[in-house]
Amino acid sequence: MPIFTKMKGSLMIGFMRFFKSLKNEKLDAYLNDEDRQLLKERLLLSSWYPGGTARHIIKALFEVAGQGNPENSRSWGKFSAHEIIPTTYKNFLKPGDPFESLKSFRRIFLTFVDMEGLKVAEEKPGSGKIYILDPGDDPIIVPFAYMMAGFIEGLLELAGAKEINCAVKREPFAGKNAYLIQTTYQAKKQ
């Protein structure tokens, strides 16, 4: 079972733009005909697109461009947050209030990914725990978890937090395999 089944154009466009910019022949081996056709189309920000294409692109980027290093996925997630939140999703950002911004993370993320396995276990000023349930057979779970950690870091930076730390580790949630993103941060002094 995949982590997610659909992805909104607002996020998919960024994936595809980065994928196309690399011009690496090795990347094409990860795609099927449907993926290649979608790469030729003009995507709409508010439309939903097949999660399979997004997963193929994420896997290709992780293994080829990112050389299998999860920290590269984290950097990409952080960049995506800085690119998407101030424009398309600015209503979820609470400048000067990292806690309220982090509380909106689940709503933000679920506006552009159709995903049931995202669980917020703790939200309090200065910290949060977010779990991604591991379906066990989706090869992008690790890069996706690190990408989400980077996205959270970017969100918190935009909200004015400092000393941000988003640790990713494998930890069960409600008896199921999962990846935990444990977040700590300091709010800027006013």
> Vertex 61, ends 56 and 65: CA angle to 5°?
155
Residue 104, SS3?
coil
Q: What is the pLDDT of residues 51-85, one digit of tens each?
A: 999 999 999 989 988 899 999 999 999 998 998 88
Share of the chain above pLDDT 90, in %: 53
Share of the chain above pLDDT 70, in %: 99
Q: What is the pLDDT of residues 82-122, one digit of tens each?
A: 988 898 888 889 999 999 998 888 787 888 888 888 888 88
Q: pLDDT at residue 19 above 70?
A: yes
Position 189 confidence tier, pLDDT thresholds 50, 70, 90: low
pLDDT for the residue numbered 84: 86
- Residues 120 and 133: their CA atoms lie apart, in Å, by 11
Paired with 130 in beta bridges are: 120, 181
Position 190 confidence tier, pLDDT thresholds 50, 70, 90: low
- pTM of the predicted structure, to 2 decimals: 0.89
Q: What distance, in Å, lies between the first and last C-alpha atoms of the chain?
A: 46
Q: What is the pLDDT of residues 133-144, one digit of tens each?
A: 998 888 899 999
